[in-house]
Structure 1
Amino acid sequence: MSRYLERAENLARMLDVSYSLSLMPQDGSKHGLDELAMPLLITGTLDEYLEKYGQMHAERMLTFFALDPQNPASIYCCLQAARTNAHAVRGRITADMWENINSTWLEIRGISEQGLGRYGISHFCEWVKQRSHLFRGATFGTIMRGEPYRFIRLGTFIERADNTLRLLDARYELLGEDIDEIDGRPARSYYQWTALLRALSSFEAFAEIYRGSPNSRRVSELLLLRPELPRSLRACVDELNLMLSGLPGDNGRPAQRLAAELLARLQYTVIDEVLEEGLHTWLTDFIQVVRELGQTIQASYLEVA
């Protein structure tokens, strides 16, 4: 339930930044559609889209990614799955949590009937984020601090860590190694990094911590290694360790060990080491490790032997 809700919010953030950047003037072989294809590439659904529609089309792509009930990676399907899972554990969550997630599902069904044309893509993405925030607030404010609460937090931060890594990797790969000096046009680099920071609600934090314009080094350090940023990789791994340490029994030792290894690795890593290894290589490796941690938590606690 928690992972699907966090994923819906992350998908909305991803879609919003790609849509905003697609409206900017493009140059060379880059088009707005290239920018809009980013969510499909990140989620691995580009082939499914092309098989269904044959070619890139802005309106169809937005609908496919946001409201298509046949696309399991769409925001619509994520909220549907979250509501289904919430119904399955109705007795373990509070009434406020259930009412929030159920009303969210009913609302998105209405939005789907109207279509994005009437609702507006930016308005829709903000609505998804707001509904996720409301659920998180209802959860934090009403549920007992027992195992259900800890598993909700685990799902949230596993999904959030994966999203931060993928968004940073996709933005870096799109612009290449010369991301900070693109044909002598610093403005494009600035808007690309600023859009990413805003997508992760990190622009204000960046302005407070760093001086000057965002670049690959500063943004990567902020999103990967700064523990005070709520959506950074380091903050997510901190929270995962905290939640896992509070679960009883010995079944979770493999997950606890892996999470502790990840935390130690981040604690003793500096951004120069990341960039020396290669940002894309480092991110790709960590995406796999975060996936492994999620699978280990699933095997340790949620699968019946």
Structure 2
Amino acid sequence: MLSRTADCLFWLGRYSERAGNVARGLAATLRMAMLAQPLAADNEWRALLIATGSEPGFSAKHAHANAEAVVHWLTLDLDNPSGIAACVEAGRRNARTVRTALTVDMWEAINDTWIEFRRLDPSVIRGDRLPGFLDWVKSRALLFNGAATDTMLRDDAWRFVHLGTMLERADNTARLLDVRHAAFTPAAEGDAAQYAQWQAVLRSVSALRAYQHVFHARLQPHLVAELLLLRQELPRSLLACYRNVEAVLDAIADNNGGTRGECHALAAALHAQMRQGKVDAVLAGGLHDFLTGTIDRNIALGREIGAFYLSGQRS
């Protein structure tokens, strides 16, 4: 496969996943902000900016992280490369470039989303209309992922889309958990405010019901951390994501002469770290340090994939 085609497919997967992730994070933060006092609500919005990696750009444009400014920045502002609008535009641009590598269902999912998004009235992000808009974005991301899963041949085109999706998903889970790492210290046990934080983390990755199915228990910080980090049953856990990343990279290598590079070693190391990890040890050693290290290694992995397989790197 030409590196330019692989690059577009990889980033198509990343941008589609990122749009859905931002919508999930916004929905959870909106719920938290409604429960918080005004000053605490602003802290919730700033935490979301940090989790999406878009705080520097926001701060350069806005003086305060209030609800209206943050929501616009993360939804309709094309100046934000991590915002929903920019992800929809970039995803469709990449899809158009490699349209013949996609199935009809995939193209229609991404193109119809782009058409409908451009027709939206800006008032869709205001007041009571915002939750409906976020649900629509999540459903469109799920539609694209479903189309890819159900209709693509399991060839290199599929693998690069899936690789981008999994790498983006791992980054998102790590960032969402890290921005609330203070709620996972021993001192947070039994604190009602922290209980809401644990709920917010789970809602951000659509895993609140999954937690109950796995543990059959009230929310506990070490179990929330275990689910998001080390449980393979959860498709958005770091273990599940890096297991898929390693498997896909191995399949790409095997299908292209067997040559492997630093990206394969990094993926294997991240998978092994999660597979062999114990949540008590992670928390004892410091959840924040563990997650920031993981985020840095995830960024390095993306760069190594770009250097080994793709024609360029974006963010």
When normalised by structure 1's length, the TM-score is: 0.91
Partner of 1:217: 222
Q: Which has the higher contact order (CA 8 A, sep 6+)?
A: 2
Task: Decide whether aligned partners of structure 1 residues 92 and 115 sit closer, same or farther in structure 2, where only a CA change above 3 A counts.
Answer: same
Whether 2:204 is the aligned partner of 1:199: answer: yes
2:166 and 2:60 mapped to 1: Cα distance?
Answer: 33
Shift of 1:118: 7.0
Q: CA deviation at 1:251?
A: 4.1
Q: Is residue 185–residue 283 contact of structure 2 (8 Å, CA) maintained in 1?
A: no
In the TM superposition, 1:1-305 aligns within 5 A as 1-26=12-37, 30-117=39-126, 120-173=129-182, 175=183, 177=185, 180-181=188-189, 186-247=191-252, 248=255, 249-303=257-311
Preserved contact between residue 252 and residue 301 of structure 1 (Cα < 8 Å)? no
CA distance in 1, matches of 2:40, 2:309: 46
Query: C-alpha distance in 2, partners of 1:14/1:8?
Result: 10
> For the residues of structure 2 that align with 1:14 and 1:74, how far apart are their CA atoms?
12
**Which AA in structure 2 matches 1:61?**
V
Asked if the contact 1:251–1:301 (Cα under 8 Å) also holds between the matched residues in 2, the reply is no
> In structure 1, what residue type is equivalent to 2:40?
H
- Whether the 8 Å contact between 1:252 and 1:297 is mirrored in structure 2 is no
Say if 1:242 and 1:63 are closer, same or farther in 2 by CA, change over 3 A: same
* Shift in Å, 1:254: 2.4
Gaps of 5+ in 1: none
C-alpha distance 139-119 of structure 1, shift in aligned 2 (>3 A)? farther
Structure 1 residues 85 and 218 mapped into 2: Cα distance closer, same or farther (>3 Å)? Answer: same
With over 3 angstroms needed to count, the CA separation of the structure-2 counterparts of 1:54 and 1:261, relative to structure 1, is closer
| Offset at residue 176 of structure 1 (A) | 7.1
1:124 deviates by 1.4
CA deviation after TM superposition for structure 1 residue 266, in Å: 1.8
| Root-mean-square deviation over aligned CA pairs | 2.0
Going from structure 1 to structure 2, the CA distance change for 1:179 and 1:78 (only over 3 Å counts) comes to farther
- State the distance in 2 between where 1:118 and 1:107 align: 20
Q: Give the length in aligned residue pairs.
A: 298
Q: 2 CA distance for matches of 1:119 and 1:134?
A: 24
| 1:120 alignment partner, SS class | helix
Q: How far is 1:122 from its partner?
A: 1.3
Task: Quote the residue 2:7 is aligned against.
Answer: none
- 8 Å CA contact 1:228–1:235 kept in 2: the answer is yes
Take 2:15 and 2:124, find their aligned partners in 1: how far apart are those partners? 22
Q: Is the 8 A contact 2:74 2:84 kept in 1?
A: yes
Name the CA shift for 1:57/1:267 in 2 (closer, same or farther; >3 Å).
Answer: closer
The structure-2 alpha-carbon separation of the partners of 1:63 and 1:251, relative to structure 1 and needing over 3 Å to count, comes to: same
Judge conservation of contact 1:179–1:189 (CA < 8 Å) in 2. Answer: no
Question: Matches of 1:132 and 1:179 in 2, distance apart?
Answer: 37
Whole-angstrom distance in 2 between the partners of 1:91 and 1:270: 44
After superposition, what is the alpha-carbon deviation per residue over 1:173-202, rounded to whole angstroms, capped at 9, x for unaligned? 4x4745624xxx632222221121122121
Matching residue's letter, 2:223 = R
Shift of 1:49: 2.5
Closer/same/farther in 2, CA of residues 119 and 103 from structure 1, 3 Å limit = farther
How far apart in 2 are the matches of 1:53 and 1:178? 36
